[in-house]
Amino acid sequence: MQKDAPSSCISSTDLLGLVGQYMSDEDVEKINQSYLLAFKAHDGVIRKSGEAYIFHPIAVAYTLADLHMDVDTVCAAILHDVIEDTDYSKDDISEQFGEVVADLVDGVTKLSGGQFTTRDEAAAASFQKMMAAMTHDYRVVLIKLADRLHNVKTLAVRSPSSRRRIAKETLDIHVPLARRMGMNTLRKDLQLNAFRHLYPWRSERLEKAMQKLVTDNAIEHQDIIDTIKQGLVDKNIDGKVFSWEKNVYKLYKRISKGKSHKQLSKFTESLELRVLVNNTIDCYSALGVVHQLFHPKVGSFKDFIATPKGYGFQALQTALITPQRQLIFVQIQSNEMHQIAQYGITASKRFPELLQSSGKSQMYLNRWLEQVQEIQNITGTAAEFLEDMKADLFLSEIYVSTPRGEAKVLPKGSTPVDFAYSIHTEVGDKCVSAVIDGEPARLNARLANGATVLILTDQDAAPSPTWLNFAVTAKARSSIRSWIKKRKSHEFVELGQKILEKSLLSFNQQLDSIPLKNINDTLLALNLENKNALYTSIANGNQSAKLVARRLIDNDGLTSLDENHKDQLLLIKGTEGLAVSLQKCCYPIPNDSIVAYPNKQTGLEVHRDNCPTLARNGHSLQKDIFSIAWVDDTSKESHFLAALNLQVRNRIGVLSHITNLLEKMDINIEDINISGDKEMKDMYFLIQVRDGAHLRLVAESLQSQSHVLDVVRVLDENNQ
């Protein structure tokens, strides 16, 4: 079969020859046995390219063998599709090749598509499964990346829509995964091949343009390289200097965002150079050499040796400008740093002389795996996990420190909330404000690179759902979601119990007096596990509280009970939490006449009884509405949002007069919107008040201002 394979295919002989260069005869034979099993399992299966399927797992294994990966990893790569596509099971593999190989194969095996309603749902679940396996053994992801690399290299035989879908998925997930593991050689290979299939015409044009630019400026570029080489020699620094191929995909992203000229020239595109020396001291010495030879560009220097990137990348980076206005980007590394940057966690396997440095890469990887495991433990759904991980993988890093000097690596755009959760989940849950570089700051402030951050906490504080609007890191977002779900679940139980108790009072009954048998029979009839499930079902509207009350009182569900009792009002304060939400369409406040209806996601939605939204959404019928009223509460600590429309003369200072008046009345303004013409302005104010009486006092004070013509509460009954 191998004789008929295309000449571009890697054969089993090629693979065995490669592993034989660094493995024992016993390990080579184990790999040969895994090949024989895979050959048998995939016998007769042909890929879309027309070649025998077996050439795909051989190619995947060859990529990993080229990294000098161990025997179990190479065996698992050969067998990686056996469980998913053939009749062989995990137990079959474990019996012949051991539990480690079986676990690796199972880790990269996608979940069955029949379990899910959509392809995206299946992909998210399979990704979560793979990442869970990776936290136990990182080699799972290496196999998956090698698998994707061969798939993306052979996309030409696929339909255009499949090529685009797979290429985009590669750029969204696999490329940042390779980067996060520090494997930049693999990352660039994945990125370039995916780009060529996602945008074939654009990638071809850019590659040709870059090649022309290199050719046209070859002599000048070589002179620059020779100048730097001589500069190193003059300072007795043993080093190599060479040009580095520009990443065409990154160039495309810059151009598409308008951050680079579309016409490429030596004045718009930098010459990228690598300087490799023997040790860290020589890195800084080489930096001095290049800065003496060419003028440094202000603000371009970055020291990733003193503060490595989150995945362990180390280098000195600087930009230079020649007298001929050629921009040069120089990256200076030791030989060891360079190999680790290209091959990440596998560098010490491919280059055994780096064994002493492998601990660094492993340390950075372990830190990330611990974070992934923590996110796994608290994330609700596979889709949420995928969303959070993609956000975390994509963003570039900034470096922020605690007041004690402990450095934290966070994604660019992070906030004090992200910083707090990076310290500890409890610190995040209890944070109330921050001090950035000695200045008080809000929790949604964006952190700058190099900032020093102090987090202030309060034991009575709790996360806010609004934090999801600005939190960036997967750790923070998953922790906030977890808290919301736990809190909402608790509040739904309390709300449902409260509603049921009010319904029972309509029949002169109390929940405590209901026989246990009636409760158990009701739970059985409604197919609910326990009382908390019953209360939650009532709170989200899945069960009618009145019908549940009937069933609890009369186990046979008879309708002979007295129905002349009036419905008991459900009393609320409006500050119950996530399960009771005052709606923004009408902003109900204490003293308003209110109604409510249950929502499965948000709990009890409270409206003013004249709110047009109720009628528009079909909830104006009495059967949908809860009888509800404000509890008699004399507390002055609670505040509620209310909306006012003001019609004013357009005069200088009128807005200032209004805001000053509100400030004197100790009224907090949440939002302002102004519209109108040269003569008249309509001003919308969203303010905080205690109740209806307080709002009337504010409205009367505003109405008394000379330039204020009218003050109307938004959605007021007299203004419909």
The answer to whether the beta carbons of residues 298 and 353 sit under 8 Å apart is no
Tokens of 167: 């290429």
How far from the centroid of its chain's Cα atoms is residue 136's Cα? 21
Catalytic residue among 14, 85, 223, 567: 85
SS3 502: helix
The amino acid sitting at 636 is: K
Strands 271-277 and 327-334, sheet pairing: parallel
Residue listed under structure tokens 């309060």:
458
DSSP 113: G
Helices assigned H by DSSP within 510-581: 516-525, 531-539, 545-553
Distances (CA, A) of 601 to 290, 605, 715: 61, 10, 25
Known active-site residue 84: yes
The answer to whether the beta carbons of residues 145 and 80 sit under 8 Å apart is no
The amino acid sitting at 374 is: E
The answer to whether the beta carbons of residues 112 and 126 sit under 8 Å apart is no
What number of other Cβ atoms are within 10 A of residue 382's Cβ?
A: 21
Catalytic residue among 27, 66, 84, 92: 84
DSSP 567: P
Distance from C-alpha of 692 to C-alpha of 642, rounded to nearest angstrom: 9
What number of other Cβ atoms are within 10 A of residue 362's Cβ?
A: 14
Q: For residue 599, list its beta bridge partners.
A: 603
Known active-site residue 633: no
Tokens of 716: 């007021």
Q: For residue 436, list its beta bridge partners.
A: 439, 453
Distance from C-alpha of 494 to C-alpha of 532, rounded to nearest angstrom: 9
Distance from C-alpha of 325 to C-alpha of 267, rounded to nearest angstrom: 6
DSSP collapsed to 3 states, 156-179: HHCCHHHHHHHHHHHHHHHHHHHH
DSSP 553: H
The residues annotated as belonging to the active site are: 84-85
